[in-house]
Structure formats: structure tokens, C-alpha cells
């Protein structure tokens, strides 16, 4: 199989703990997707320069976003991906600020009628105790508002707090691999 024929999966990871729990589950899912024949790449939004959306009244009339930061390149990769993985730790029972920054900057493609190309979107959320459902719901609403059709979503969420807890939890890692299997049904041709 050559590179171009492989489905391209982009993971947007929004945890500032680079070796934390969210990253561990993303790693397990991407390892599996790679083994199943997908081309995977990770966008660490916490390492990007992304300014908050300033709600320019003429956003829809502009040919490019007013901000020349890292958002445009990330948005380009995300909107072109065959499969998308959105992963966030739970912060105050919602997505992290870095994920929200990224989402809000997607208002530019929204006002220009540009929609996600993804055939499937995987969602990952990790909390110490509370807020998993609300966080997954926020990610699902982003997908719905960024699509011009019903894009299937699949999710994995779990409880882990200390750094390394998810990596050491075989059930959570298995759930992340299962998420990858479910996504692959939409991305990898059956032989």
C-alpha cells in the first residue's frame, strides 16, 4: 500500500501534560490505527501559538483569518483529514482552554462554508472524577457544527488523575484500541 492510498488520521491533542493521561490514550489509539494501515499525525495544540478568536464582524468577507498564527495550518490539516481524533483532559467539566481556543478559531472555516471532510471522528476525554459526559458532548457539538452532514462519532472516556495513571490502566488502553478499531471500519477498506 502506498502512502497516498492510506487514510489520513489527524489527532488534535489538547493536554498540556505531554506524557499525561490524554496523550497515553491517544498514543494507544494511533498505534492501533497505524497498525491497521492508517497514516497518523498528531497536532499538539498546547505547543502552538493560537490567539483567541476576536469575532471580527467581517470574518465571512475576509480571504484569510486576521491572525497569522499557527491556527491556519492546524485547521487545514484537521479539515482535510479522513479521520479525526479530538482528545482533551476534563477541565472544569469541559474541554481544556487550549481545545476551546482551537475550536473557536474554526469559526473562520465555518463562516466560509468549509466543513470537516472526516468520515469518522473519535473523541477522547479523561477526568479525575467528574465531567466526562459534558466534555464529550462539547466535542460532539463541535463536530456537528463543523460538518454539513452527519459524521459518525465514537468515543472513549475514563477516570485517571496522576500522570501515568491511564498508561498503567490496561482497561483504558484496551478501550482506546477499541476506539481505533471502530474508527478503522470507516477508514480502512475491507479485503
Ligand X SMILES: Cc1cc2nc3c(=O)[nH]c(=O)nc-3n(C[C@H](O)[C@H](O)[C@H](O)COP(=O)(O)O)c2cc1C
Question: What is the binding site for ligand X (CB under 6 A)?
Answer: 15, 17, 20-23, 89-93, 126-131, 160-161, 163
Q: How far is the CB of 50 from ligand X (least distance, A)?
A: 18
Catalogue the E-assigned strands of 51-147: 83-89, 120-127
d(CA 75, CA 152): 20
C-beta nearest to ligand X: residue: 20
Number of residues that this document lists for the chain = 191
Tell me the C-alpha to C-alpha distance, in Å, between residue 34 and each of 37, 40, 95, 115, 183: 5, 6, 26, 25, 12
Between 81 and 90, name the residue whose CB sits nearer to ligand X: 90
Q: How far is the CB of 47 from ligand X (least distance, A)?
A: 14
Indicate if the alpha-carbon torsion angle 182, 186, 189, 191 is positive or negative: positive
8 Å CB contact between 143 and 85: no
8 Å CB contact between 183 and 120: yes
Q: How far is the CB of 24 from ligand X (least distance, A)?
A: 8
Q: How far is the CB of 179 from ligand X (least distance, A)?
A: 16
Between 126 and 187, name the residue whose CB sits nearer to ligand X: 126
Q: How far is the CB of 10 from ligand X (least distance, A)?
A: 18
Between 70 and 93, name the residue whose CB sits nearer to ligand X: 93
Between 24 and 118, name the residue whose CB sits nearer to ligand X: 24
Between 81 and 99, name the residue whose CB sits nearer to ligand X: 99
Amino acid at each position: 500500500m502506498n502512502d497516498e492510498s492510506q487514510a489520513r488520521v489527524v489527532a488534535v491533542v489538547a493536554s498540556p501534560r505531554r506524557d499525561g493521561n490524554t496523550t497515553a490514550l491517544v498514543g494507544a489509539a494511533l498505534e492501533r490505527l497505524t497498525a491497521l494501515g492508517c497514516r497518523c499525525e498528531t497536532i499538539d495544540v498546547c505547543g502552538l501559538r493560537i490567539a483567541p478568536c476576536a469575532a471580527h464582524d467581517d470574518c465571512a468577507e475576509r480571504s484569510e483569518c486576521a491572525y497569522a498564527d499557527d491556527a491556519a495550518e492546524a485547521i487545514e490539516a484537521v479539515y482535510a483529514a479522513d479521520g479525526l481524533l479530538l482528545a482533551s483532559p476534563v477541565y472544569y467539566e469541559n474541554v481544556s482552554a487550549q481545545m476551546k481556543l482551537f475550536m473557536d478559531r474554526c469559526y473562520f472555516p465555518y463562516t466560509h462554508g468549509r466543513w470537516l471532510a472526516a468520515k469518522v471522528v473519535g473523541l477522547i476525554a479523561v477526568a479525575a472524577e467528574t465531567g466526562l459526559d459534558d466534555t464529550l458532548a462539547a466535542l460532539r457539538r463541535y463536530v456537528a457544527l463543523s460538518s454539513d452532514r452527519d459524521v459518525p462519532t465514537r468515543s472513549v472516556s475514563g477516570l485517571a488523575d496522576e500522570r501515568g495513571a491511564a498508561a498503567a490502566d490496561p482497561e483504558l488502553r484496551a478501550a482506546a484500541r477499541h476506539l481505533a478499531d471502530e474508527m478503522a471500519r470507516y477508514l480502512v477498506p475491507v479485503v
